Amino acid sequence: MDGQETIKRGAWGSKTAFILAATGSAIGLGNIWRFPTMVSQNGGAVFVLVYILAVALIGFTVMLAELTIGRHTQKNPVGAIGHIKPRSPWKFIGYLGVITGVCILSYYSVVAGWTIGYIVKTATGAFSGEVTSQLTEKIYTEFTSNPLQVIFLLFLFIGMTTYIVSKGVKKGIERWTKVLMPILFLLIIFLAVRALTLPGASTGIAYYLKPDFSKLSGTVILFALGQAFFSLSLGMGTMITYGSYISKSDNLVSSAGWVTFSDTLIALLAGLIIFPTLAFSGQPGDVGGFGLVFKIFPIIFSQIPGGYIFALLFFSLLCGAALTSTISLLEVPVAYLVDEREWSRKKAALIVGFLSFVIGVPAALSFGGMKIFTRIDFFGKFDFIFGNISLAVGALLICVFVGYVWGVKNAIKEIFSGNHKFKIKPLWVFSLKFLSPLAIIFILIFIKKLVSG
Ligand code: PHE
């Protein structure tokens, strides 16, 4: 396992190690911060329903497709596509992924930096005493509009990510995820149980779980699909890159299934904490906004004996979960530069990390830190373009590439190298060749209308 090659590219120790790392990439702010925000802005339960369908019918399909390309070629996205279809414009998928990775990393790290700020706030007693929604609102607004503070935290977070990625994939990620994910899972279950037993919780539960079909619209479908890709780390080659480190004897289908399932479970549980707590604090489900999690979680901690400790634990775990995701975001451009351009890992990580930081600054200043960025909502626009559209376009191209260019036969041969059962093969092929690409095209065509309407 050791030797120069491994140090340069890294490799997973085992199948479990791969699943842990891929789960670490998938589970992050996308589940706990972005998912409830999207639910709140897009009609509540009906969004949840469309989201689950999008994950099961399209997300899983793309997940398996990406892992298959990755393991077959053992390369980063650009190299992988070039390996299958040399000197073709399909390489664009890889480049799009590299750019998307840098851009998502930049604004994602802004929110990831906030988690550090909230660890400090909790530790220094900002949430002791009575915690009302007015108080959490005030703390959030003051905190996120302080320009130097948010830029410093952004810098710190990207710095940590860069350090770990420069040390190589295997050592960096496995270690983290192994400890982090099980504790996060237990804590979230515990908090969900508490939230469900708060007075008034039922209004929140209804908003979250009882679909109002009159709220179903193209916009809801667009955002649900985008959220599925975002949360599962799909559409930009993350899973191609991570799949490139999986061994030939591993079962790709069950790996893809496991990652998809656990990611979705965490997101759904996060909603079960947020919406009952919102109702408890007397607010409607659709208050929305990117600050939702930061305003709502302190309220639930104030309703638990020893809440101070739980709050510290929660924000630390959220920070850690965000870190295993930013690592995977940075890993895509770094793997490209190391494999294709023969840069050293350290140089690649440092340069890309710095670039993301610079791009992240306007995003960090979009919450009152600087008027112009706040007014144009730089953060929101960036998230929409890269966190939604760009991932959807990437996922579409990956489906078409695997379904028609590389060919389903070849992909299936690769899938069979590690397992001999693939019961849902016909479904996967149908989704890969028809359902997923058509659904994405349909949604992209209507995008202009949706967004302006
Ligand atoms: N899936 C991660 C999350 O939910 C974010 C991410 C998106 C990571 C795309 C890698 C690629 O937090």
Range of the domain at 361: 3-452
Say if residues 73 and 244 touch (Cβ distance below 8 Å). yes
Band the pLDDT of 95: cuts 50, 70, 90: very high
Q: Is 325 in the pocket of ligand 1 (CB under 6 A)?
A: yes
**What's the CA gap between 4 and 14, in Å, rounded?**
19
Say what the pLDDT of residue 167 is.
85
Q: How many CB atoms lie within 10 A of CB 25?
A: 26
Q: Provide the token pair at 416.
A: 């069979």
Say if residues 38 and 223 touch (Cβ distance below 8 Å). yes
**What's the CA gap between 328 and 156, in Å, rounded?**
17
> Can you tell me which atom of ligand 1 is nearest the CA of 230?
7
Per residue in 171-197, pLDDT tens? 656 777 788 889 999 999 999 999 999
Q: How many CB atoms lie within 10 A of CB 308?
A: 16
230 C-alpha to ligand 1 centroid (Å):
5
Say if residues 110 and 363 touch (Cβ distance below 8 Å). yes
27 C-alpha to ligand 1 centroid (Å):
7
Say what the pLDDT of residue 4 is.
42
Say what the pLDDT of residue 18 is.
78
Task: Please return the burial class of 213, using the count of CB atoms within 10 Å of its CB with bins 0-12, 13-18 and 19+.
Answer: exposed
Q: Is 236 in the pocket of ligand 1 (CB under 6 A)?
A: yes
**What's the CA gap between 14 and 2, in Å, rounded?**
14
Count of CA atoms in the C-beta half-sphere (13 A) of 371: 0
Q: Is 230 in the pocket of ligand 1 (CB under 6 A)?
A: yes
% of the chain beyond a pLDDT of 90: 85
232 C-alpha to ligand 1 centroid (Å):
6
Per-residue burial over 374-409, b = 16 or more CB atoms within 10 Å of its CB, e = otherwise: eeeebbeebbbebbbbbbbbbbbbbbbbbbeebebe
> Can you tell me which atom of ligand 1 is nearest the CA of 33?
12
Considering the chain, what is the average pLDDT of its residues? Answer: 93
> Could you tell me the CA-to-CA distances from 188 to 183, 200, 328 in Å, in that order?
9, 20, 23
Per residue in 291-309, pLDDT tens? 999 999 999 999 999 999 9
Is pLDDT at 21 greater than 90 in this prediction?
no
166 C-alpha to ligand 1 centroid (Å):
19
Per residue in 325-374, pLDDT tens? 999 999 999 999 999 999 999 999 999 999 999 999 999 999 999 999 99
With the most atoms of ligand 1 within 8 angstroms of its CB, the residue from 161, 327, 329 to mutate is 329
Higher pLDDT, 246 or 328: 328
Is pLDDT at 223 greater than 50 in this prediction?
yes
CA nearest ligand 1 atom 11, residue: 233
Say what the pLDDT of residue 453 is.
55
Say if residues 9 and 88 touch (Cβ distance below 8 Å). no
Say what the pLDDT of residue 216 is.
95
Closest among 397, 390, 440 to 104, alpha carbons compared: 390
Say what the pLDDT of residue 452 is.
64
> Can you tell me which atom of ligand 1 is nearest the CA of 108?
5
Is pLDDT at 28 greater than 90 in this prediction?
yes
Q: What integer is the mean pLDDT of 29-56? A: 98
426 C-alpha to ligand 1 centroid (Å):
28
Task: Please return the burial class of 435, using the count of CB atoms within 10 Å of its CB with bins 0-12, 13-18 and 19+.
Answer: middle
Higher pLDDT, 274 or 176: 274
Is pLDDT at 170 greater than 90 in this prediction?
no
Q: Is 31 in the pocket of ligand 1 (CB under 6 A)?
A: yes
How far is residue 149 CA from its own chain's centroid? 24
Q: Provide the token pair at 429.
A: 């092929």
Least confident of 1-15, 30-44, 69-83, 334-348: 1-15
Per residue in 104-146, pLDDT tens? 999 999 999 999 999 999 999 999 989 999 999 999 999 999 9
Cα angle: 62, vertex 169, 362; to 5 degrees: 75
312 C-alpha to ligand 1 centroid (Å):
23
Say what the pLDDT of residue 194 is.
96
Q: Is 33 in the pocket of ligand 1 (CB under 6 A)?
A: no
In this structure, which amino acid lies at residue 415? I
Q: Is 122 in the pocket of ligand 1 (CB under 6 A)?
A: no
> Can you tell me which atom of ligand 1 is nearest the CA of 263?
4
73 C-alpha to ligand 1 centroid (Å):
22
Radius of gyration of the chain (CA): 21
Is pLDDT at 5 greater than 80 in this prediction?
no
Q: Provide the token pair at 283.
A: 């607010």
Q: What integer is the mean pLDDT of 86-90? A: 95
For residue 199, the domain's CATH number is 1.10.4160
> Can you tell me which atom of ligand 1 is nearest the CA of 325?
8
Count of CA atoms in the C-beta half-sphere (13 A) of 402: 34
Q: Is 233 in the pocket of ligand 1 (CB under 6 A)?
A: yes
Say if residues 243 and 71 touch (Cβ distance below 8 Å). yes
> Could you tell me the CA-to-CA distances from 246 to 22, 46, 141, 256, 418 in Å, in that order?
11, 36, 44, 12, 10
**What's the CA gap between 360 and 382, in Å, rounded?**
10
How far is residue 440 CA from its own chain's centroid? 19
Say if residues 229 and 34 touch (Cβ distance below 8 Å). no
In total, how many domains does the chain have?
A: 1
**What's the CA gap between 73 and 185, in Å, rounded?**
33
Q: Is 328 in the pocket of ligand 1 (CB under 6 A)?
A: yes
Say what the pLDDT of residue 9 is.
56
351 C-alpha to ligand 1 centroid (Å):
21
